[in-house]
Amino acid sequence: MNVGESIESIRKQWGKKLFILGHYYQQDGVLQHVDATGDSLELARRAATEQKAERIVFCGVHFMAESADILSRAHQTVYMPDIHAGCPMADMAPLREVQQVWNEIQAVTTDLSLPERSAQAGWIPVVYVNSSAAIKAFCGEHGGSTCTSSNAAKVFQWVFNQGKRILFVPDEHLGTNTARDLGLPDEAVAIYDPGKKWGGVGVEGIARARVLAWKGYCHVHTFTADDITAARRQHPGAKIIVHPETPAVAARLADAHGSTSQIIRYVEAAPAGSTVVIGTEFHLVDRLARQHRGRLAIFPLRQSVCRNMILTTEAKLLALLEQWPAEQVVRVSEPLRVNARKALARMLEVK
């Protein structure tokens, strides 16, 4: 039996007691063996509703598997084929720094009598799921919600409906793009650099902000205005769509931006014979190009691969299913779990 056949044979033996989830950025060799494929929101929902499986295998990156564990039931254990598949962006927001900034911005709102203050209410943390369980727990403890790129606008609106403002962690670009989508003026959004005094924006900047976005980013999605210009030159008449982790200067020049599932729907709705250029992780773009070959011409804005996503391979999946090593269990500690679950549950409830 080859690797793929061995995996399928083990899956058959386990039946409904095993559930394998795979993010769209995974390689095809891995995705052919999963029970559910999705973007981070869809996978969080699947993890939350899966009841029968005793073992959940997450083919993605660590924060996703942590979310699956937080949302799982007591009889379920979450595993990763490669436990080292992390997310550099998630690592850009350590708990201690976020706590410090949180205290700092409370002080600005409570201690200063700046003219803007009267118009501005308190803060609610909104945390991108691309973050550690500790940050999600912090968020839940302070009445906040997680979000993904699919529902960031809805979660932001949920905060604004309460008359509050947002500390958004850890992706400055998703924060900025979402604020702009909701019609906020540029001066209402500030990028908070935790390495600088008052985040580099000063007390006035903090007092004025309705969205304070943590200075973090995903290097896979750092497309530039030059990338867009080059694509327009190379593919005249093409539509360009980018993921909202893309810097706003480039996202603004594209025809659209959207989460992974929104990109997929955009491509499905594109008229036959048209060309679509996509700015997101290469494995997804390449798969869409193959799936729509003959109907659409699809090109990557730039060939950009998430090195962490590709750490998971068919061979590692097989090794996991054969041996179930304890080191590959993803388990969030109980105190963090309770509050992190609150933040994830709020996100899943926001309509």
Check: CB of residue 190 under 8 Å from CB of residue 108: no
Work out whether 306 is an interface residue with ligand SF4 (CB under 6 A).
yes
| Chain centroid, CA 245 distance in Å | 9
Find the binder of ligand SF4 among 176, 308, 312, 339 (CB under 6 A): 308
Which of 38, 1, 16, 31 has the alpha carbon at shortest distance from 317?
Answer: 31
Give which of ligand SF4, ligand 13P, none residue 66 binds (C-beta under 5 to 8 Å, depending on kind).
none
Which of 276, 257, 279 has the alpha carbon at shortest distance from 268?
Answer: 276
Give which of ligand 13P, ligand SF4, none residue 148 binds (C-beta under 5 to 8 Å, depending on kind).
ligand 13P
Work out whether 48 is an interface residue with ligand SF4 (CB under 6 A).
no
Contacting positions for ligand 13P (CB under 6 A)? 39-41, 130, 148-150, 218, 245, 259-260
Compute the least distance from the CB of residue 78 to ligand 13P, in Å.
Answer: 17
Give which of ligand 13P, ligand SF4, none residue 149 binds (C-beta under 5 to 8 Å, depending on kind).
ligand 13P
Q: Which residues pair with 110 in a beta bridge?
A: none
Phi-psi region of 271 (alpha: psi -120 to 50; beta: other; left: phi over 0): beta
Spatial separation of the C-alpha atoms in residues 326 and 212, rounded to whole Å: 40
Compute the least distance from the CB of residue 45 to ligand SF4, in Å.
Answer: 18
Positions 63 through 92 that interact with ligand SF4 (CB under 6 A): 87-89
Copy the structure tokens of residue 80: 């990763």
Closer of 218 and 267 to ligand SF4 (Cβ)? 218
Work out whether 218 is an interface residue with ligand SF4 (CB under 6 A).
yes
Positions 242 through 301 that interact with ligand SF4 (CB under 6 A): 281
Closer of 172 and 245 to ligand 13P (Cβ)? 245
Compute the least distance from the CB of residue 61 to ligand SF4, in Å.
Answer: 4
Give which of ligand SF4, ligand 13P, none residue 259 binds (C-beta under 5 to 8 Å, depending on kind).
ligand 13P
Q: How many CA atoms lie within 13 A of 144 on its CB side?
A: 26
Q: How far is CA 291 from CA 43, 92, 142, 257, 266, in A?
A: 21, 35, 44, 21, 14
Site size toward ligand SF4, by CB under 6 A: 11
Spatial separation of the C-alpha atoms in residues 172 and 191, rounded to whole Å: 6
Q: Which residues pair with 282 in a beta bridge?
A: none
Compute the least distance from the CB of residue 12 to ligand 13P, in Å.
Answer: 29
Spatial separation of the C-alpha atoms in residues 252 and 257, rounded to whole Å: 9
Give which of ligand SF4, ligand 13P, none residue 120 binds (C-beta under 5 to 8 Å, depending on kind).
none
Task: Provide the binding-site residues for ligand SF4, judged by CB under 6 A.
Answer: 61, 87-89, 130, 218, 220, 281, 306, 308-309
